[in-house]
Amino acid sequence: MLIATNLSNSTLEMLVSPVMTVAVPAIYLAVFICSTPFNLMSLVALLSIHFKRPTSTSVLAINLSLADLIYSAFLPLQVLYHLGGNDWPWGVTLCGITTTALHCNTYCSALITCAIAFERYCGVVRPLRTKHWCTVRRASITCVLIWAFVLITQYPFVWHDLTLRISELDITTCYDVIPRNVFPSARGAYLYFLFVIVTFYLLPLAVLVGCYAAVARELRMSPLLKANSSVSEREILSRRRSQTTVMLTTLCFVVCYLPTFILYTLHIIFHAWGWSLYVYYALALSINSFNCCFDPFVYYFASSEFRQALRSRFAWCCPLTNDSGSTELVFRTSVRDRTG
């Protein structure tokens, strides 16, 4: 464990800020309480659907739910760490594992969400050209590559001691103040964080907004929504529900990730000038974690097939009722609509 020397007053003030020791852990605790049971229930329901009839969508959804669940599982350590005055008492190894796990699952969640958005874009906007793309095998390979790629990008944090002793405050931080030996130079650190910003924040935001904007436009222009179209009311309602789901998905992702992206970028820029926005970035990052609370509702609870699987597994809390309509109808029948 390294001992910090010559820390700036702004860094010391950041470590004792009420934002870091009260607000951030309170948000993480709320996310843990909300996210863990819902994602666990979602994972069980999705696995039951996948075993009955595996699809590329179920593969992506299972991996997204798993990423959110693993993220939530490590939040109690973050809560205790921040509530304790940013003092990490559990050693070097657990600090590295926790930091890597939180980063991996945050970034995997963003990339898998983009993969789901792209799959829906293919099913609605380009069904004929891409009908052979969305297979279980390709979805599985995509998820494996995402997990492997994200894990590789965490190399600097896996093999280095991320704890730092702050003698002035009599605490040991975990990742909040990165030891100098993690990166070979300041230039290398800036390049790494620039890569993270572009790969895991900017590109996912651009891909998701672009794909869902195209999907929403296609659904709005669909002949199924025309008043004189000879289609069932159920299909019309399904299309409208799909539009709502697309808008909510985009809104949740943007609200969670955009503030983090902006403050992350500003923090890196200002840090080069000797200023720090880390407190505000940490607050935005904790708010970003609400995304894993929204996922079960936005991505899964909009599907009647998922609701039926959930009720069959958890009938004690989800009473069986007649249900109709599913956002999945749009993506499964888009080729038929265009060719029939």
Q: Identify the pLDDT of residue 311.
A: 76
Q: What residues have CB less than 8 Å from 64, skipping those under 6 apart?
A: 109, 112, 113, 116, 295, 299
Of residues 184 and 206, the one with the higher pLDDT is 206
Listed in sequence order, the DSSP H helices in the chain are 9-15, 18, 24-52, 56-73, 75-83, 91-124, 136-153, 155-158, 186-197, 203-221, 233-271, 278-288, 291-295, 304-313, 328-339
CB distance 102 to 74 below 8 Å: yes
**Residue 167 neighbours by CB distance under 10 Å:** 10
pLDDT higher than threshold 90 for residue 334: no
Of 301, 304, 299, 289, the closest CA to residue 249 belongs to 299
DSSP β-bridge partners for residue 128: none
Q: Identify the pLDDT of residue 333.
A: 36
Tens of pLDDT, residue by residue over 107-132, are 999 999 999 999 989 988 888 777 77
2-207+256-297: CATH architecture: Up-down Bundle (1.20)
Tens of pLDDT, residue by residue over 22-71, are 999 999 999 999 999 999 988 998 898 888 889 898 999 999 999 999 99
**Residue 217 neighbours by CB distance under 10 Å:** 12
**Residue 337 neighbours by CB distance under 10 Å:** 16
Radius of gyration of the chain (CA): 22
- What is the per-residue DSSP string for 174-207? ESSS--GGGSSSHHHHHHHHHHHHIIIIIHHHHH
Tens of pLDDT, residue by residue over 267-321, are 988 887 878 899 999 999 999 999 988 888 775 556 777 778 777 777 655 554 4
DSSP classification of residue 173: E
DSSP classification of residue 224: G
Tens of pLDDT, residue by residue over 5-14, are 778 888 899 9
Tokens of 40: 């666990």
Residue extents of the structural domains in the chain: 2-207+256-297
Please, what is the end-to-end C-alpha distance for the chain in angstroms? Answer: 67
- What is the per-residue DSSP string for 132-167? TT--HHHHHHHHHHHHHHHHHHTHHHHSS--EEEET
